[in-house]
Amino acid sequence: GQQLNQSPQSMFIQEGEDVSMNCTSSSIFNTWLWYKQDPGEGPVLLIALYKAGELTSNGRLTAQFGITRKDSFLNISASIPSDVGIYFCAGRGPPNTGNQFYFGTGTSLTVIP
């Protein structure tokens, strides 16, 4: 199945630093979602984006739906230790793909206190 290219694969940052990660696809998506997964738990929805160019914030998190509809970005400002986890992007394909959601391979974030 289709896979989204998510980068970077992993990040090691100091507490207080800002974080940026992105997701790209060769196909156009109608919806972009960002999830965070902690060890032993299911992914938790962080931000949902429904329109090209849309910029949405959730606390210290900000995500954007790329204008080309082939990419999305997630930024975390002033990172804290509890931001540690794996971040996944997900894109929803058009109706001819069955409206499936395709997931990125994840960005593993480590925050050093």
Partner 1 sequence: DSGVTQTPKHLITATGQRVTLRCSPRSGDLSVYWYQQSLDQGLQFLIQYYNGEERAKGNILERFSAQQFPDLHSELNLSSLELGDSALYFCASSVDGQGNQPQHFGDGTRLSIL
Residues engaged in binding partner 1 (CB under 8 A): 1, 3, 30-31, 33, 35, 40-45, 48, 50, 88, 90, 92, 95, 98-106
| Non-local CB neighbours of 51 within 8 Å, separated by 6+ positions | 65
d(CA 101, CA 108): 20
Taking the least distance from each CB to partner 1, the nearer of 1 and 113 is: 1
User: Which amino acid makes up residue 80?
Assistant: I
Minimum Å distance from CB 73 to partner 1? 18
Taking the least distance from each CB to partner 1, the nearer of 48 and 84 is: 48
Residue 15 CB: number of other CB atoms within 10 A?
Answer: 12
Taking the least distance from each CB to partner 1, the nearer of 28 and 112 is: 28
Taking the alpha carbons at both ends of the chain, their separation in whole angstroms is 38
Minimum Å distance from CB 77 to partner 1? 23
